[in-house]
Amino acid sequence: MTTYPQIIRTIAELRRVIASFRKANPDNQTVGLVPTMGFLHEGHKSLLHKSVTDNGLTVLSIFVNPIQFGPGEDLDKYPRDEQRDLVVAAEAGVDIVFLPQVEEMYPNKRVTTVTVNEVTDRLCGTSRPGHFDGVSTVVMKLFNIVQPNRAYFGLKDAQQVAVITSMVRDLNVPVEIVPCPIIREADGLALSSRNVYLGQEERKQALILSKSLSNAVKWIQDSELTAPQLIARLKEEISRVPLADIDYVDVLNYPDLSPIDNQMLLGSVQPESDLLIAVAVRFGKTRLIDNKLINQVEVGANTCFAK
């Protein structure tokens, strides 16, 4: 039988309910948090399932956070469907859905911002100025409101995982960050709430993202390539698709997102560091991101895994 989650719209009530859960379950009952902007799909569901499995209480937050959108971005038309999201939450076994209004999260003029440096210097950090300040600030607020033991984030947004992990480390936030693998459609397209914006032809051509990333893994295994050569090859392949308008293609060390310079990718094995191949491409007005995170040691040993 599906039990319906408790819907909470205020910070005060959320704090109250979580405190009474902790009081009633003093031993070994952990709280998991899954922060989202709603319009839930299988990617979100995978995070929810993991949290429900791992924790005594799972809080799903649904908040389209205005301060992480830049001017001219899709804040106003960001897709929303509260009723459907609640059904998804119920099916996933979520205990609490936190659904605050903007005024609840930002009641006053805000004079405090959490800024994470360096890992935000590239990729979406440069093409969406201010975006990660908005993300780290709202996530820090959610961490302080919920005080979760664990928080779940998708590697679809690999840079976001790097940003939040750095913030938690540097500010000693007592939460375990759990990165979760990218969930894809059967044909390879990474699930995203923004996929609904795509027209039929754009949807078809958007497959170039996952296809070119898979090809990149093969190219690294089959030939000696430097990062700039791999980037050039990826750009060439993506540009062949008429509707694709490239925002960025980059290959970086992960999770510090430092550049790889000119050495051969296979020869540059750093056991502590993975390799992130990340792309952002516009199809019409829709900007899609995708990535492959690969372990250089395993690529070298020809047992490449993509997280």
Binding site for ligand AMP (CB under 6 A): 36-37, 43-44, 46-47, 153-154, 156-157, 180, 182-183, 190-193
Instruction: Please name which of 191, 160, 179 lies closest in space to residue 51, comparing C-alpha atoms.
Output: 179
| CB closest to ligand AMP, residue no | 154
Active site residue 44: yes
Q: Which of 283, 239, 276 is nearest to 259 (CA)?
A: 276
Planar angle of CA 194, 198, 200, nearest 5 degrees: 150
User: Exposed, middle or buried, 48 (CB in 10 Å: 0-12/13-18/19+)?
Assistant: buried
User: Nearer to ligand AMP by C-beta: 50 or 122?
Assistant: 50
Minimal distance, residue 188 CB to ligand AMP, in Å: 11
Strands 286-295 and 274-283: antiparallel
Q: Is the peptide bond before 255 cis (omega within 30 degrees of 0)?
A: yes
- Considering the complex, state which of residue 47 and residue 238 has its C-beta at the smaller distance from ligand AMP: 47
CA distance 162 to 164: 6
In terms of CB distance, is 39 or 230 closer to ligand AMP?
39
Our CB check for ligand AMP shows the closer of 173 and 183 to be 183
CB of 130 to ligand AMP, least distance (A): 16
CA dist 131 and 135 (Å) reads 6
Residue 11, C-beta contacts closer than 8 angstroms, at least 6 positions apart: 100, 104, 105, 145
Query: Residues 6 or more apart from 128 whose CB is under 8 A from it?
Result: 70, 73
Of 250 and 290, nearer to ligand AMP (C-beta) is 290
Least distance (Å) from ligand AMP to the CB of residue 44?
5
Least distance (Å) between residue 27 CB and ligand AMP: 29
Write down the least CB distance from residue 169 to ligand AMP, Å.
18
Spatial CB neighbours of 213, under 8 Å, sequence gap ≥ 6: 234, 277, 279, 290, 291, 292
Q: Which residues are catalytic?
A: 44
